[in-house]
């Protein structure tokens, strides 16, 4: 799900609780979001910290880490 779709789906569900969170990955601080107790983090930032390459397939809306 793309970020814009996530935002739209969250706007539709007013009962959901959404808050910004800070994620510490090694020595880096990454912005994330917590929605109803589930933390979401940006895949690209976390993957690059792990030394992985991120590929996006627009056709299938799939992220692949290599």
Tens of pLDDT, residue by residue over 3-38, are 666 666 656 555 678 899 999 988 899 999 999 999
> What pLDDT was estimated at residue 30?
93
Task: Tell whether the model's pLDDT for residue 55 goes beyond 60.
Answer: yes
> What pLDDT was estimated at residue 25?
86
Distance CA 47, CA 62 (A): 15
The overall pTM is greater than 0.95? no
- How many Cα atoms within 13 Å fall on the side-chain side of residue 54? 14
Residue that wins the pLDDT comparison between 60 and 11: 60
What stretch of H or E contains 26?
none
């Amino acid at each position: 799900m793309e970020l814009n779709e996530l935002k739209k789906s969250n706007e539709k569900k007013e009962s959901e609780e959404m808050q910004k969170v800070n994620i510490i990955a090694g020595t880096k601080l990454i912005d994330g979001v917590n929605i109803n107790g589930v933390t979401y983090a940006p895949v690209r930032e976390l993957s690059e910290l792990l030394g992985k390459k991120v590929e996006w397939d627009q056709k299938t809306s799939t992220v692949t880490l290599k």
